[in-house]
Chain A
Amino acid sequence: MLQKKVKKRVSLLVVLFSSSVIAIFFILQSLNSNILYFKSPTDIKNNQDINFKKKIRVGGMVKKNSLIINEQEIKFIITDFNNELKISFSGTVPNLFAEEKGVVAEGKLQDKSFFIADRILAKHDENYMPPELKDIMKKNVK
């Protein structure tokens, strides 16, 4: 009787433990393949091994007089004041999207100077700047 009890407890613990390990492994695995890296135009220029298939986020200031709009898409250039990146986007832009304002775009790099975005990130406050962008601005604007 006792043995049976011990057996049961052991099997319960084993199931709990092994399932937890598998679960955590599963989570971390998926985390690794689903994170989005944030890059500035300078990062992209300096980076040698870019994975063009992977989604990333890019950020910078929308360059003055760079905005072109037609029926299909919105094109603009973002800059971190050292380097630039052309962006093409079709979709809804957030409230405060405008030239000379900070912007973060999510999508894929086509080559080192052209980026197709499938999302422009929402911002709700005119003074708000994504923390990533703030750091870049701090580094470059002195």
Chain B
Amino acid sequence: MLSNIGNSILFISAFLSISIIYLANKNLKVSNNLIIKNIYQLSLIQSTLIIVCFFTLIAAFIVSDFSLVTVYQNSHSMKPVFYKIAGTWGNHEGSLLLWVIILTIFSFLFLIYNKDHPKKFRLLTLIIQNILILGFLFFILFNSNPFSSLSPTPSEGLGLNPILQDPALAIHPPLLYVGFVGSSIYFSAAIASLIVNYSEKSFSSSIKNWVLISWCFQTLGILVGSIWAYYELGWGGFWFWDPVENASLLPWFAMTALLHSLIVFEKRNLFYFWVIILCLITFILSVTGTFLVRSGILNSVHTFASDPTRGVYILLFLSLMIFSSIYLLFKKYKKENYNLNQNSKETFILINNWFMMFYLITVLLGTIYPIFTDALTDNKISVGPPFYNAIIFPIVVIFLIFMAVGPKVKWIKNKFEDIKVYFLILAGSIILNALILVFIKSYSILSNFIIISALFLIISSLKDGVSAIQKNKFDLARIISHTSFGFLVLFIGLNHIFSIERDYNIKVGETKNFENYSIKLEKLDLKDFPNYKAVIGTLEINNNFSNEKNILKPEIRIYDNPKTLTYEASIKTNLLKDYYLTMSNIDRSDYYNIKFQKKPLMIWIWISVVMIVAGGFLRLFKNAKYS
């Protein structure tokens, strides 16, 4: 029954998209400046229907309707209700539906919130957005239909992979999708703007809030994914440079670049084509990321079951997008004025964009290089963290310095009046760094540079904040985000430098000593839970230096549906450090393999990212207030 409802709604939605495209196209030829009511109504109905459709799928998951293939493959009647619901978007088909929901809602919101822009531009944006919606609806209907039914109905489902049964992973996809898919709306707007030659400054006001929204959610989505990886993958790191993570980072770089160059476009009416290019590549990269993840072309930790036919469809769609974008760009390209003063805010924002592109290209090359070598030379290779570390970290130093100086630079023509202040700040940063060196621990030259430049950014941003408060005219959003970024780099640096990591094979009752710590495996307990059994270890960690005692209880969980073994890390968090412990048993032996890690300042890394996003939201509220 649910299958029929869902399928009908999907067909109706596709039909609505076609109607909207038809009506909008007809309305384009009418010369008055009003969009006919029908289009608004259809758009509203379309959004409502697709949400109903999604709720139908959620309902199917809640009542465990195993006549649906998707529910059968990804759910189980014994699963807690929360994870039944989260399971809706924890799989390929359901997540695509979520994808279409965001496309549709954004399309509707863009339509109603941009009344003061030219009609042609708005209608064309709507048409292009609906073409995207249609493309994904067809993909859902003919390839990845969440409402495909199964007969006879199985009595029990296969279950959701236990490592996906996690609160962080339940909210991770929706957050990330608002970012990923949210970028579609400025893709559509950029194409529309190219077609109707809408290149005035005011174009920026139609998209800037959408860019901000998608950027904020993308950042949050990446954060939540990375927190999940930290405690769930049992490896203690929060960033693997895994292709899936890279796929979420690529559009982020493009968005961040766009966020900044839009400021120039808005203020100075420069960089129009560059802004358009960034709009286009952000969404193209989002779709590319989806393609790489879903087609199984890359080896990754992600669990999306891969299927080559999906890859082919997305690839076709992607090439269509890329070719039409390039075609339009070449057709419409006009020479732009790039007469910038080297010492002006414009140039500094261009420098920001240069760095973003540099990071983007680095990560893109690192991610897709293995595909090419495999196809061309039959050599199977992988690009690991050393590549990214070698490239990204040295460059971060220069980037941070520019980031500290840039925002204070004036438009059009700048004069550095307070060079002395910068030297003072730099001296202060060097002294702070030296204090850490002397009193705690020495570290590599590169780490020194990173810490100093991060401190430099933090102090100069804070100083900006203070002097701006005195003048009562300041850009709090920017200051929060930039300072927090400085803190983020600082904390990542310190975390990296002061981490301790030890692996042992240990038996019950044994004690291991290292540095000023001792670890004892006291006992093992076996416990039954509703959907899994767990072996819980009790380990005592003693800091002989401060006499601090901690009990950590890592688990080995044995799930039944599907039959899987997972290791649950035990983490003790406080403001200064995390203790992180995972335990695994080894085939046919009474040794337990434990990994102990001390990760300093972990919680501050998360907080810094939250603050970066807070800056974004603040700017959004301000924009909303003044428009």
Contacts and interface: CB of A to CB of B under 8 A. Distances in A.
Interface in B501-523: 503-506
Contacts of B382: 35-36, 38, 57
A141 interface: no
Interface in B527-578: 562-567
B390 A34 contact: yes
B161 A92 contact: no
A9 interface: yes
Contacts of B588: 67, 99
Contacts of B339: 5, 8-9
B152 interface: no
B301 A74 contact: no
A77 B584 CA distance: 20
Contacts, number: 126
A69 interface: yes
Given A37-B381, A92-B582, A8 B340 contact: yes
Interface in B583-603: 584, 586-589, 591, 593-595
B233 A92 contact: no
Interface string B222-259: 00000000000111000000000000000000000000
Contacts of B384: 34, 36, 106
B155 interface: no
Contacts of A93: 584, 586, 593
A27 B364 CA distance: 11
Nearest to B593: A92
Contacts of B303: 124-125, 128
Contacts of A71: 504-506, 591
Contacts of A31: 365-366, 369, 383, 387
Nearest to B595: A92
Contact of A23 (B233, B358, B380, B587): B358
B78 interface: no
A130 B161 contact: no
Contact of B381 (A27, A36, A95): A36
Interface in B323-353: 338-342, 347
B55 interface: no
A138 B380 CA distance: 15
B466 interface: no
A43 B376 CA distance: 18
B535 to A, nearest CB: 13
Given A8-B339, A19-B354, A27 B365 contact: yes
B282 to A, nearest CB: 20
Interface string A105-142: 01000000000000000101110101110010000000
Contacts of A13: 338
A124 B233 CA distance: 9
A12 B342 contact: yes
Contacts of B347: 12
B199 interface: no
Nearest to A70: B505
A8 B299 CA distance: 47
B163 A124 contact: yes
Contacts of A126: 562-564
Interface of A: 5, 8-9, 11-13, 16, 19-20, 23-24, 26-28, 30-31, 34-38, 57, 67, 69-74, 90-99, 106, 122, 124-126, 128, 130-132, 135
Given A34-B383, A36-B384, 16 more contacts: A12-B340, A13-B338, A31-B365, A35-B373, A38-B380, A70-B505, A91-B593, A92-B594, A95-B234, A95-B565, A95-B567, A97-B584, A122-B301, A125-B303, A131-B296, A132-B380
Interface of B: 161, 163, 233-235, 296, 299, 301, 303, 338-342, 347, 354, 358, 361-362, 365-366, 369-370, 373, 379-384, 386-387, 390-391, 503-506, 562-567, 582, 584, 586-589, 591, 593-595
23 contacts: A8-B340, A12-B347, A27-B361, A30-B387, A31-B365, A34-B384, A35-B369, A35-B381, A36-B383, A36-B384, A38-B381, A67-B586, A69-B591, A70-B505, A71-B591, A73-B505, A93-B586, A93-B593, A99-B587, A124-B303, A126-B562, A131-B299, A132-B299
What are the 5 tightest A-B residue pairs by CB atom distance, in nearest-first order? A34-B387, A38-B380, A92-B595, A91-B503, A35-B381
